[in-house]
Amino acid sequence: MSIAVYPGSFDPITLGHLNIIRRAAAIFNEVLVCVMVNSSKNPLFTIEERVELISRTIDRFPNVSVESSETLLVEYMRSKESKVVIKGLRAVSDFDKEFQIALLNGKLDHNIETLFMPSSEKYTYTSSSAVKEMAKYGADLSTFVPMEIIDDLLKKVKARA
């Protein structure tokens, strides 16, 4: 059985993320969306909240599930017996960063491969950071994040203001 892991901070999940999930789900028997800790980021949502938000958006994909991990990605992958990391790329700058991470992961565990999936054109400019900024100003988020989480995002941003 082929199991792929799609790691990220997903703060919040965007339609771009969902596009990668949908495409990966069509290729692999199982896709594990893993909410990871990124110590260089100051997240809006807790890990538990992000897992819950993602859960609401992936129920249409029977072979996709969501979990969280505070371990190194390679340790998480070993525990799930997965050998494939899925990473979405929006621009060359994403590739530079993700390529370095892929090389590090390969050094830590030579059995792990990273599959880079280019973003669909309509999502190349969508990022969680941009979505959070737009939410602060009350922008229409319907073309950026799943409808299921828009109210949660707006409430969280308003509470932080």
- Which residues are catalytic, by number? 17, 41, 90, 128
Nearest of 62, 84, 80, 61 to residue 71 by alpha carbon: 80
DSSP state string for 122-139: GGTT--HHHHHHHHHTT-
End-to-end CA distance of the chain: 46
DSSP state string for 37-62: --TT---SS-HHHHHHHHHHHHTT-T
